[in-house]
Amino acid sequence: MKKILSLFVAFILCVSIITNAYATNAAHNIDGAVTSPATPVTSEVISESNYNPIGELTEDELKALEDSLLHGCNSCIANRHFSLIPHSHEITAITSTYVGQRDRGVVAQSVSRVPTTSQLIYERSRSVSNHWGASISFEKSVVTAEVGYNCEYSTTETASYVLDIPPLKLGSITLYDMYDVALFNCKTTWVYDTIPITYQYEYGTGWAEQWTHFGFGASIW
């Protein structure tokens, strides 16, 4: 019986290590290719009072964490992902919001000059998705709930654009993904079963971006 119990505990520890290693990935996204938020087009810094951030854990929240550790209860703060150590995640402040863009490059270009006015037409279905990242162990579901961006969103949209090209000119069309981007401060609180109970805080920063529409640029020469 002791041998079976030891093997079970070892299995739980392995699952915890693998799961937390995944959770600490510095940048999380749908397509696996994004490692930083979209480049800002315009930037607006908002104050904490305007956003009404969550702030530090209250005494009631700390008590709920203690109760969860000692007794367990339905109303206690839930663990956001599997771990042997009870903990919670929170976004403490939104530090900046802006409209950002990701350049997809030239998607269409005319190849010859003609003596009359011509049109360059681009239309194609493109995969679009939302992304997020954090510098510490953090949960995608918390970002979705507290920032309001659905970080799991991924779909296909149609991008289309028509460029009128004057006689004897060449033209090209550039495609952009446009995002609403939020930068934030975040915190993970770990609760340890000591006497008295002790807390360890992990502070970091993160970002989340929500795709809004396709943007286009055009060049004529």
Q: In whole numbers, what is the pLDDT of the chain averaged over residues?
A: 74
The predicted pLDDT at position 86 comes to 74
C-alpha 195/C-alpha 112 separation (Å) is 79
Spatial distance between the Cα atoms of 21 and 33, rounded to a whole number of angstroms: 19
Q: Is residue 9 part of a domain?
A: yes
Q: Is residue 195 part of a domain?
A: no
Given a cut of 80, is residue 39 above it in pLDDT?
no
User: For residues 150 and 30, which has the higher predicted lDDT (pLDDT)?
Assistant: 150
User: What is the pLDDT, as a whole number, of residue 7?
Assistant: 53
Lowest-confidence region among 61-65, 69-73, 123-127, 158-162:
69-73
CA distances in angstroms from 176 to 3, 53, 179, listed in the order given:
59, 32, 10
User: Does some domain include residue 79?
Assistant: no
Range of the domain at 24: 2-54+93-188+203-220
pLDDT for res 60:
61
Phi-psi category of residue 61: left, alpha or beta, with phi > 0 → left and psi -120 to 50 → alpha: alpha
DSSP state of 35: -
Cβ proximity of 149 and 132 under 8 Å: yes
The structural domain count of the chain equals: 1
Residue 144 lies in a domain: yes
Residue 69 is assigned to a structural domain of this protein: no
Which amino acid appears at position 187 of this protein?
A: K
Binned at pLDDT 50, 70 and 90, residue 139 comes out as confident
Neighbours of 105 (CB within 10 A): 8
Residue 141 banded pLDDT, cuts 50, 70, 90: confident
Mean pLDDT throughout 105-117? 91
Quick check: is 41 in a domain? yes
CATH number of the domain residue 156 falls in: 2.170.15
* Residue 209 within any structural domain of the chain: yes
Tell me the percentage of the chain whose pLDDT exceeds 90. 38
Query: For 1-28, how does the pLDDT look when each residue is reduced to its tens digit (9 = 90+)?
Result: 555 545 554 555 554 544 443 443 444 4
- Model pLDDT for residues 45-82, shown as the tens digit of each residue: 333 233 333 344 456 655 655 555 555 444 434 433 44
pLDDT of residue 87: 75
Question: Could you tell me which residues come within 8 angstroms of residue 58 by beta carbon, excluding any fewer than 6 positions away?
Answer: none
Would you state the torsion angle of the CA atoms of residues 53, 59, 61, 67, taken in this order, to the nearest 10 degrees?
A: 170
- Sign, CA dihedral 153-135-46-78, equals positive
Amino acid of residue 118: S
Position of tokens 């953090």? 138
Query: Residue 70's pLDDT is what?
Result: 53
The residue with greater pLDDT, 35 or 73, is 35
Q: Can you point out the beta strands (E) in 110-150?
A: 118-129, 131-134
Does 75 reside within a domain? no
How far, rounded to the nearest angstrom, does the alpha carbon of residue 160 sit from its chain's CA centroid? Answer: 27
Confidence of residue 152 (pLDDT cuts 50, 70, 90): confident
